[in-house]
Structure 1
């Protein structure tokens, strides 16, 4: 990108704990480190209970005035491009409609990344997505299937849609034995699922698969890595995690399940992933079109078992993983046995996953975003005008 370029990211952001916050931090850091921008500005979406001290400005998730104020702030700044990270649940109003107050008032090029794309959403959600796409200079999705949904179900011009992989932090080298020793897992065959825990992860079905596995593999240990999602904890407490621990005890596999109940730093998470023999993603949301956890597991060269979500069906092509049935413990167990019982298959899956990881490392993804931001600047110019819509 040309010198003195500046990008503003609109998203949740650490220390807020959610996958989108992590994605935006990693993207912004990678784009800057690759030399595509001179400076990043982050405008963090925050709820009433969480104020961000790591960003240039915040948007109060539930205040329409705050969205307009943020747009005016950027219009009066030296920002060249705005990168909007869109997820329905982080914005205020019905289906996150308050984000439109920001989009309608921003004056320069807007590049929107959609992390959820629904084939048959309620009409309100459809209208919001369509308007964001109309205002945006370009829209980004992480897989081709999501691009086709935007084109077919939302009428978005295909020339405006860009597919860029999710992005993953890659280890310098893969060291399974070292990682197992470091974590005290040397004598275990390790399965794992990681991420912020919620019912949509389908973890109970992985736990239910263990009785089919541990008779022949008593050393097997299933790691559930990550704390309960803050939004889930706010409304439901630890009910889901307690349900999982009770289930493991009832099935007699509590010694084969280890909950790592905390939000791991990037380096520690990488160490855990390197120790994993088989990664399990038994997610229940069939329409999922983006997953940082699954992308990161592949980036670490893991043999993966996943339910056939839209996202998984696309990125696990070319023998990068096996599919288990939705909400089916026996199917998960069959896949685990197939991988652990056939070394050639496991090596093939791991090799293909590692190759895919080289395509989705943050350096390559940052270069693609950098090119896109540069293109958006050429088309729309910079944010030099002041917004004319009032903040009322």
Structure 2
């Protein structure tokens, strides 16, 4: 059965994890009948030129742009919709709901955030979105459990399909001169980088002292409202702790090859996030796929993936615990290799071609069971 796919999400050149995820999924799903349709969601004032693979652009703002977006997606057999707060127009992204209801084809809604304490409006809206969807995907078991326990949803519609990863990179390429710690991703308050800097200051006695790279541009929404205040504050902290010579901030855009080389140079990936809600982290799965030991705070995805797995989990906002975990990986004989080995099985199961096949199977099931209500 040849199937055509329409995708609704942010999309490159937008720089965010959602755009990267959707682009990677579209790139690995087979083009069986006609090229994929990409409906790119953008903010008002975003003047970045769409890539040639974008079929339609839905700009946030008044005017009911969801109607045109729905009509474009309706030209394909299945609509694959990425859901995240702050992406779609309306309060809590409420304009997504009439779009889903207007669709004349089945939809797969991928949830990137499942809140434990949503507002009444957020809970009600998400429940209606899930009711309108043909299938719902969460990226972790934790997110599914949270969804089924805390929301009114048909549990048979909810499927767990992990975040995909690229093929494992070659062995780490560190130069061996100094241990190298790395955090990457869009920068902004809540990333917890200040705790990692404080942890680094507790490792002064190691010889040689580790270096720490913070790679990533400031999140566009943070940049719009706060400028580079967070990054500037981090720089001030490094000077205050006399660590400026050991911390490097790379704010330039890194293409896939440059980022891959940077990741391979790391001895430890540090994810010091403040969030206790984060059920999905693309950076986390990419670090595991690269074979780099991870030290992460106890956000839900880290707890699920790293417990007895390829990394160490520490309490939030605890520089001492973070430093102790990094110290163990750098100094305890055999630990780094053991952690890397634990990630190999996880990585094979999360390769993008494997993940894309699971979405294709789900899509075929929806099309095969397509109710007459979807008939044009």
Please classify the TM superposition score into its range, dividing by the shorter chain length.
over 0.9
**8 Å Cα contact 2:107-2:133 kept in structure 1:** yes
**SS in structure 2 opposite 1:88?**
coil
Distance 1:97 1:155 in 2: 17
Please, which runs of 5 or more residues in structure 1 have no aligned partner? 387-392
Distance 2:158 2:307 in 1: 22
Q: What does residue range 282-361 of structure 1 map to in structure 2 within 5 Å?
A: 282-361=272-351
Distance 2:244 2:86 in 1: 34
**SS in structure 2 opposite 1:216?**
coil
User: 1:27 offset after TM fit, Å?
Assistant: 0.7
Please, which runs of 5 or more residues in structure 2 have no aligned partner? none
Pick from 146, 149, 153 the counterpart of residue 152 of structure 1: 149
Change (3 A) 1:64 1:125: farther
User: 1:66 offset after TM fit, Å?
Assistant: 0.5
Greater mean deviation of Cα atoms: 107-116 or 308-317: 308-317
Distance 1:69 1:141 in 2: 27
**8 Å Cα contact 1:60-1:67 kept in structure 2:** no
Question: In the alignment, does 2:246 pair up with 1:246?
Answer: no
Higher RCO (C-alpha 8 Å, min separation 6): 1
User: 1:38 offset after TM fit, Å?
Assistant: 4.4
TM-score by length of 1: 0.91
Distance 2:325 2:34 in 1: 47
Greater mean deviation of Cα atoms: 186-195 or 117-126: 186-195
Distance 1:345 1:74 in 2: 49
Change (3 A) 1:217 1:197: farther
Alignment root-mean-square deviation, CA: 1.7
Give the structure 2 partner of residue 276 of structure 1: 266
How far does the alpha carbon of each residue in 1:367-391 deviate from its partner, in whole angstroms, 9 at most, with x for none?
Answer: 11111111111122699856xxxxx
Give the structure 2 partner of residue 257 of structure 1: 247
Question: In the alignment, does 2:89 pair up with 1:121?
Answer: no
Pick from 6, 9, 22 the counterpart of residue 8 of structure 1: 6
**8 Å Cα contact 1:187-1:219 kept in structure 2:** no
**SS in structure 1 opposite 2:249?**
strand
Greater mean deviation of Cα atoms: 235-244 or 335-344: 335-344
Q: Give structure 1 regions of 4+ aligned residues with deviation exceeding 4 angstroms.
A: 35-38, 381-386
Distance 1:222 1:354 in 2: 25
More helix by share: 1
TM-score by length of 2: 0.95
How far does the alpha carbon of each residue in 1:208-264 deviate from its partner, in whole angstroms, 9 at most, with x for none?
Answer: 111210232344110101111111101100000000011001100011101111221
User: 1:61 offset after TM fit, Å?
Assistant: 1.5
Distance 1:150 1:170 in 2: 30
Q: What does residue range 55-70 of structure 1 map to in structure 2 within 5 Å?
A: 55-70=54-69
Change (3 A) 1:36 1:365: farther
Distance 2:22 2:226 in 1: 27
Give the structure 1 partner of residue 172 of structure 2: 176
